[in-house]
Amino acid sequence: MKRILVILSILFTSQPAIAGPIDLTYYLPEGTSYNPDIPTPEAFFGFQIGQWHLRHDLTVAYMKELAARSDRISIQTYARSYEQRELLLLTITSPENHQNIETIQQQHTQLSDPNQSTTLTPNTMPVVVYMGYSIHGNEPSGGNAAPIVAYHLAAAQSAAIDSLLQNAVILLDPVFNPDGFNRFAHWANTHKGKHVNADPAHREHNEVWPGGRTNHYWFDLNRDWLLLQHPESQGRVAQFHAWKPNILTDHHEMGTNRTFFFQPGIPSRNYPLTPERNYELTAAIAKHHAEALNNIQSLYYTKESYDDFYIGKGSTYPDLNGGVGILFEQASSRGHIQESIHGPLSFPFTIRNHVRASLSTLKAAAELRTDLLDHQRTFYAEAVQEANKSRIKAYVFGDASDPARTHHFIHLLQQHQIQVHELARPLTPSGQTFAPGSAYVISTQQPQYRLLTAMFERRTTFQDSLFYDVSAWTLPLAFNMPFAELTTSSQEFIGDKVQPTQMPQGRLIGNSNAYAYAFEWKGYYAPRALYRLQKAGVIAKVATQPFRIQTAEGTRAFDYGTILITMGIQSISPQAIQTLIDLTAQEDALDIYALETGLVTSGISLGSPNFAPLQKPEIAILIGDGTTSSNAGETWHLLDQRYDMDVSLIEARYINSSTLSRYNTIVMAGGSYSTLDSLKRSTLKQWTRAGNTLIAYDSAAQWAVRNKFVNTTFVQTDAKKTQDQKPYGNASNDQGAQVIGGAIFQVQVDRTHPLAYGYENNTLPVFRRGTTFLEPTKNAYATPLIYTHRPLLSGYISNPNLTRLRDSAATIAGKQGSGRVILMTDNPSFRAYWYGTQKLLANALFFGSTIKGNTLQSEE
């Protein structure tokens, strides 16, 4: 018995050691009685929380059971993950409030509308708190705390809980990232023995690639609150705006040797458009966390880590929406128990801190209720006042050549409650042309002025030179969307409000019984269209020069990169092609022209050798140990979800000449490629030399240069030896300032090069993180994208790095035997929202094989 107690005390406690068996009372505040009709987690699961990692389906079942049993709780499924797991939202409040919930919700959201908020009386309204857990799936203590918090709110019986539920509407989102959460639960449970093992080397504590942090496509969902590229975030942000919570909590884990962190974060790194009042409220809320953790003698810290700069994180997005986001970070046991500098760190201990921080948040919300509601009302009233003073009165935007990309941009704005209007008459600000039908206007005179400004602004000066995440996210630049700031306030160019719409459709122009079909490469879904045709067996060519030809709507110019399908050389039936063409025009939002003749009015004829034949790409992405899962996942997601392409994910360490033989294109999306030994490197080189295309971007480009896949050099650093003494205490800040954590730069584009087909301008915004700087090639045709001399568009870069970046290479096409290697220094599909540069990757996939040998950088 004594031995059991010793084991239990190691198991369920740490810092400081509290003896005792695991019991629900360990987690919950002392002295509360609970309604026996509500099942405890242990009664429902058959084990106590913390003994095993909860599978997501068990969480779902328990939450539904609570909602069925308790008149304090209603539940809804607001989205499904890629793997079809339910994303749940529990609405928890008093039974009286539930009777009246629609009115409460309506009044609450009116606080965010200055036209309606003045007549409301915040001191009579409930506060709204959104509590969300484990957006990083392998940070499981939050998601395992959620059922205990829900149980407490369903079953606790006291005057205090009655008062809380009367004065608050609690929206509980038990698991933000069900796919990652389940991946990690499976991992941790799989490796748990009868005797739990705290050894950090034990396999339980060392997940295999890609780990459980991310969602199905290996995206960090806690960067997607602004970008909304995934169903989890889209559903969640819709709920967010349906309620506009006053506090939103975001429960995470950090390194095992840390303690517990709660916001405020580092003050010098606050996002400048967030009002100061937000930080005052954050600090007022923090006092309650401190008190709760003092009570259980848990260590914690605040203000020394993390920041509120990048507004696409869960703890920062609310700050730009009239609420207060709170980040919690708990040292991770990363499994059931793990040794730490504070002694054995048990899973239950980590769960308990999140339970207590959840309850302290609710206590704070009740106490600060009127302050929080006042803040929300004032936030929006002041936003409109700021908008009235703003130099920028409106933004106009739109890409007439690409309705699909324009549609996705509008849809993103609308999901953030930003009002978009039709353009009522043509405008030509600063030499650009915007026309009704393809261009749109956003007035800055709207409640979401601050968020709108945060999405459109270009910022190049900063109070701090360190960032927890990216320093820039300017959305029209990411979308490569033509846009302009308008400084004159005029109602005459603002047309009807744009309602959320379906994807636009393209048209077939001309008769179906054609000599040939042609479509330009400018539409976002042109790669999907081409692949759809190729997969069906249609033979397609690409125009390597422009041409002009008669169409059913008069003569028309076709640009570099136009896709041509000539009917005389096809082996599948004209009817089958016709059906595909119709489908492609509709679904891929492309205008497709039926052409009656091969004779052009200028440029290349349809039978010209300047139409290059295209091969269908057979693609593998190298993944696994030594590769960067986020980059690989972005490529997989782009090809699979957006372009509807077949793609194989191949473990880098398993490649050999026979596995590679079925592919003509391999993507290396970033990483150290430490599993590619000299034998595998030479296999990969031989495969390339046989006439195939190797695409390497981000850190993979660095790898390819080092391993002599391409004959080029890095930009030399101006490494003058310095003996200057520097303060030791500044070391991490000094070094951090040389990091490019993520900023936006301008490159010069050679529109005549196959890697640049589809672009209309000679410059393109690109996203860069990391410090791979390459010299332009000796072959003057082999560097089609090159950084401009003044490349910084938005974000932070140190002066030494800026010097190295200017005029350096962004894309290089190199020769390797009869094959080619395409290097991109930057990630073309960063976080899936870089709609502007994704086409660079598509060009490498579809047109890489058409690049002429004499224009490639030669081998050594």
Report the interface residues with Zn ion, using CB under 5 A: 136, 139, 252
- Cβ distance 504 to 555 under 8 Å? no
Residues 381, 179: Cα–Cα separation, whole Å:
39
Nearer to Zn ion, 469 or 559 (CB): 469
Give backbone dihedrals phi and psi of 697, rounded to 5 degrees, phi first: -130, 165
User: Minimal distance in Å, beta carbon 25 to Zn ion?
Assistant: 28
Cβ-based burial of 554 (10 A; exposed 0-12, middle 13-18, buried ≥19): exposed
> Which C-beta is closer to Zn ion: that of 136 or that of 753?
136
The smaller minimum CB distance to Zn ion, of residues 220 and 588, is found at 220
What single-letter DSSP state applies at residue 79? Answer: E
Quick one: 85 or 252, whose CB is closer to Zn ion? 252
Amino acid type, 799: N
Write 201-208 long-range contacts (CB < 8 A, 24+): 202/335, 204/334, 204/335, 204/336, 205/334, 205/335, 205/338, 207/138, 207/334, 208/625
The percent helix, strand, coil of the chain (3-state, each to 5) is: 35, 20, 45
CB of 136 to Zn ion, least distance (A): 4
Between 252 and 541, name the residue whose CB sits nearer to Zn ion: 252
Instruction: Between 215 and 857, name the residue whose CB sits nearer to Zn ion.
Output: 215
Looking at the Cβ atoms of 139 and 520, the one nearer to Zn ion is 139
For residue 345, what is the enclosing H or E element? strand 345-346
Distance CA 376, CA 112 (A): 6
- Pick 125 or 227: Cβ nearer Zn ion: 227
Contact 844, 822 (CB under 8 A): yes
Least separation in angstroms between residue 255's CB and Zn ion is: 11
Beta-bridge partners for 486: 394
Cβ at position 132, least distance to Zn ion in Å: 12
Compute the chain's Rg from CA coordinates: 29
For residues 715, 720, 721 and 722, what is the CA-based torsion angle, rounded to 10 degrees?
Answer: -120
Q: Which residues of 518-537 are buried (b: 16+ CB within 10 A; e: fewer)?
A: bbbbbbbbbbbbbbbbbeee
User: Which helix (H) or strand (E) is 728 found in, with range?
Assistant: none
Residue number, 147 or 212, with CB nearest to Zn ion: 212
**∠151-156-158 over CA atoms, to 5°?**
165
C-alpha triplet 376, 382, 386: angle, nearest 5°: 145
CA atoms within 13 A on the CB side of 476: 19
Cβ closer to Zn ion: 139 or 204?
139
Are 318 and 376 in contact by the 8 Å Cβ rule? The answer is: no
Contacts of 401 (CB under 8 A, 6+ apart): 520, 522, 523, 760
Distance (Å, whole) CA 611 – CA 370? 69
CB of 311 to Zn ion, least distance (A): 17
CB of 254 to Zn ion, least distance (A): 7
139 vs 207, beta carbon nearer Zn ion: 139
* Beta carbon nearer to Zn ion, 132 or 348: 132
User: Which tokens hold the place of 678?
Assistant: 């000299």
The encoded tokens of residue 789 equal 């001399």
Question: What stretches of 536-655 show up as alpha helix (H) in DSSP?
Answer: 574-587, 629-637
Sheet holding 563-566, edge to edge: 508-509, 592-595, 516-519, 563-566, 541-543, 611-613
Q: SS3 sequence, 514-539?
A: CCEEEECCCCCCHHHHHHHHHHCCCC
Q: How far apart are CB 823 and Zn ion at their closest, in Å?
A: 32
Residue of this chain nearest to Zn ion (CB atom)? 252
Q: Please say which residue, 192 or 252, places its beta carbon nearer to Zn ion.
A: 252
- Kindly state the smallest distance separating residue 174's Cβ from Zn ion, in Å: 16
The set of residues, in sequence order, having a beta carbon less than 8 Å from that of 765 and lying 6+ positions away, is 474, 477, 478, 480, 744, 745, 746, 793, 836, 837
Rounded to the nearest 5°, which phi and psi values hold at 325?
Answer: -95, 140
Query: Please, what is the Cα angle at 643 between 641 and 649, to 5 degrees?
Result: 65
Q: Cβ closer to Zn ion: 252 or 532?
A: 252
Tokens of 167: 């004065």
Of 143 and 754, CB closest to Zn ion? 143
Is the CB of 329 or the CB of 588 nearer to Zn ion?
Answer: 329
Residues 6+ apart with CB under 8 A from 30: none
